[in-house]
Amino acid sequence: MSSASTFPYQDATLAIEQRVEDLLSRLELADKAGLLFHTMTSVSDPTVINTEFTLPSLTSMITERRMNHFNLLGSTPTGREFAAWQNSIQRIALTSPLGIPITFSTDPRHSFTDNPGTAILAGPFSQWPEPLGLGAIGSDELTRTFGDIARQEYVAVGIRVALHPQIDLATEPRWSRANGTFGEDAELTSRMAVAYIRGFQGDEIGSTSVSTITKHFPGGGPQKNGEDAHFPYGREQVYPGGMFEHHLKPFEAAIDAGGRQMMPYYGMPVGTPYEEVGFGFNKSVLTGLLRERFAFDGIICTDWGLITDVEMMGAPMAARAWGVEHLTREERMLKILDAGADQFGGEDCTDLLLGLVADGRVTEARLDVSVRRLLREKFALGLFENAFADEDRAEIVVGNDEFRAAGLAAQRASLTLLTNGTAPDAPMLPLTKGIRVYTEGVAPESLEGFATSAARPEDADVAILRLKAPFDFRPDGLESYFRAGSLAFPPEELDRIAALAAVVPTVVDIYLDRPAILTEMVEFVPAIVANFGAADSALLTVLFGDDEPQGSLPFDLPRSMAAVEAGREDVPFDTKDPVFRFGHGLRYRR
């Protein structure tokens, strides 16, 4: 045993299973209960209560509730400050008698998404296109490179678990979570999932790995009417095309690739052989399908907030207890454990679990099944050997020039050229440098080196408009961040763009966080580019011909809302006569 070791579990020369059993034998019941909770916390003062998300102080969760798995909200200005904050929190945890280190996790934080319920802004990290953009590029090698760079940045600041990849199939065009997927195609998504996981985890898990939580098993895409299961009106997943098995394909690939952890979605399956309750409560899915059929023995962490009603961002947020709304909080917890899950995502009610054990409704042996998996992961990641981040290294690694350049190159490569001119022999792009450009959604200073800015369309040679895919705004709390509803541009917006295009040749760049209906726009806008997260500089570099558009659509773009509504939620490529097909993407003619 190492001279620095007091107990066998602290001896890195021993087998992980031996260390797990030794530590397990020393845990108090409260320690075991704390391990089963994985909730959010802010990168901020750990003594302060977070009222926006109804969270206790981080210090109290560590010292009183004995929790040690936290999903990080927010960021710091630099990698050094991020690492220093993480180290300060680990010091709090390591003062406990057994010195169990914290496992910090995060939602995606390398792209452009601004929905705090699904992702974090890039901040000091390198910035890349959304996963849809990686799907548009379609390169296994590039996706693994992204995963490896993100891994290095995460590890540098002490983040060791990724609450991603999201490998749902975006078969329902209205669904607001398409942005985090690789698109609509099962084969493409499966390839991307494997490359992504291997980029984060490496060929085998270890002290420089980031463990991935693949989501959302068994596929969260087939949402009834495209509504999201964060909310009661989106609780049902439907399979009118009988394609439940089709949505499992990427998850099979992820498991085969060594994905360590899995998260089921909120939705409840309707019209299938499986129990009609949310997947986090669903024993027929988590045990029967995931554990038994696919022989998955990794960690299952539920999606956030299945047990407790809260107030979030100033609005009531009911527990996503779909199909079991009538159950008490204790009964919901029992059902989750019986289903086969190991962690309660987004919950901190350790007292509830301890009460169930005290009442004899949950055995300590059942807790031990999950505790073993959770401890095994901490040991495999090397957290007991070194829970601290190297602050000097974090300053060098996070957002360095090489990583930022790679992210910008990927942004450029993901740009997808949908139309280019009014005729094949009259392309509008690439543009000529030095022209006068009227812009909307482009910072005027970004034009430097490309063109001069014109204040009015009438004074310009070309107009460049940066737009976002349409959605119906929903005003309350977290709901306001989910881009849902119609995919069609309002008539008044189309009229405005048509009037502008009548004055000056116009290029439209549209951010597709889900499909958009461009049927009318293609009639009067000569050049349309799709982006999946791209800075002005990335776009202009391609528009002015210093680089090529290389992307291909990762999903169909429907012709009308009527076609969308007639499509079957679980069936890929199921809208009639789309304007642009999956895989469409033009190249410049040189």
Catalytic residues: 303
Cis preceding linkage at 164, omega within 30: no
Two structure tokens written together for 8 = 């066998």
Residue 73's DSSP bridge partners are 42
> Taking the CB of residue 529, how many other CB atoms lie within 10 A of it?
24
- Dist CA 354 CA 401 (whole Å): 49
Q: Counting every residue, how long is the chain?
A: 590
- Dist CA 370 CA 343 (whole Å): 8
Please check whether residue 520 is in contact with residue 542, taking contact to mean a CB–CB distance below 8 angstroms.
no
Q: Where are the alpha helices (DSSP H) in 11-67?
A: 16-26, 29-35, 58-63
- Dist CA 47 CA 547 (whole Å): 49
- Dist CA 224 CA 394 (whole Å): 44
> Taking the CB of residue 410, how many other CB atoms lie within 10 A of it?
29
> Following DSSP, what letter does each residue of 415-441 receive, concatenated?
-EEEEESSSTTS---SPPTT-EEEEES
How many CA atoms does the CB half-sphere of 259 hold within 13 Å?
Answer: 34
- Dist CA 288 CA 123 (whole Å): 41
Two structure tokens written together for 156 = 């540098």
- Dist CA 178 CA 555 (whole Å): 10
Cis preceding linkage at 97, omega within 30: no
Q: Which residue carries 């940045």 as its tokens?
A: 153
> Backbone phi, then psi, for 476, in 5-degree steps?
-100, 125
Nearest by Cα to 226 from 178, 184, 258: 178
CB environment 61-76: b (16+ within 10 A), e (fewer): bbeebbbbbbbbbbbb
Residue 106's DSSP bridge partners are 162
Q: Is residue 472 classed as helix, strand or coil in its secondary structure?
A: strand
- Dist CA 348 CA 501 (whole Å): 54
Q: Is residue 325 classed as helix, strand or coil in its secondary structure?
A: coil
- Dist CA 332 CA 326 (whole Å): 9
Please check whether residue 123 is in contact with residue 75, taking contact to mean a CB–CB distance below 8 angstroms.
yes
Residue 258's DSSP bridge partners are none
- Dist CA 50 CA 504 (whole Å): 50
Pairing of strands 211-217, 159-162: parallel
Residue 527's DSSP bridge partners are 420, 507
- Dist CA 448 CA 465 (whole Å): 17
